[in-house]
């Protein structure tokens, strides 16, 4: 079963000229050799906790954190496989600003 990413994440991927399947494939390639088990979602590590903490501090008290905000925070953090893969895609994308990039880190 394939689950489509949320609309704001699709917009983010479009802004970096990428399709969700391309990002997923790039992540799996970057993790070569891949994990010995299938996984989906976010594995909560100290880095992930830091990213979420930084994102929460950057948002106004009642602001909704959207999935694309999390992706931008991962890229802004710059460490980890996901940040490196997304940074490569962003670097080769046409010079466009991801949706909402000026509103969040």
Comparing C-alpha atoms, which of 1, 2, 14 is closest to residue 71? 14
User: With contact defined as beta carbons under 8 Å apart, do 98 and 73 qualify?
Assistant: no
Comparing C-alpha atoms, which of 31, 41, 38, 30 is closest to residue 67? 41
Per-residue confidence (pLDDT) for residue 72, from 0 to 100? 86
pLDDT, tens only, 31-73: 766 555 555 666 677 888 888 888 888 887 777 878 888 888 8
Per-residue confidence (pLDDT) for residue 71, from 0 to 100? 85
pTM (global) more than 0.75: no
* Block residue for tokens 């100290």: 46
Per-residue confidence (pLDDT) for residue 8, from 0 to 100? 86
CA 105, CA 32: separation in Å to the nearest integer?
Answer: 29
Mean pLDDT score across all residues of the chain:
76
| Sign of the torsion angle spanned by Cα atoms 46, 48, 53, 57 | positive
> Which residue would you say has higher pLDDT here, 95 or 28?
28
Length of the chain, in residues: 105
């Amino acid at each position: 079963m394939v689950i489509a990413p949320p609309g704001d994440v699709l917009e983010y991927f479009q802004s970096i000229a990428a399709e969700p399947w391309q990002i997923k494939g790039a992540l799996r390639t970057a993790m070569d050799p891949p994990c010995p088990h299938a996984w989906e979602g976010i594995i909560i590590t100290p880095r992930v906790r830091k990213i979420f903490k930084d994102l929460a501090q950057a948002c106004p008290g009642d602001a909704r954190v959207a999935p694309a905000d999390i992706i931008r925070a991962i890229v802004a953090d710059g460490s980890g496989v996901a940040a490196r893969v997304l940074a490569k895609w962003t670097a080769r994308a046409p010079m466009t600003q991801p949706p909402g990039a000026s509103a969040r880190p």
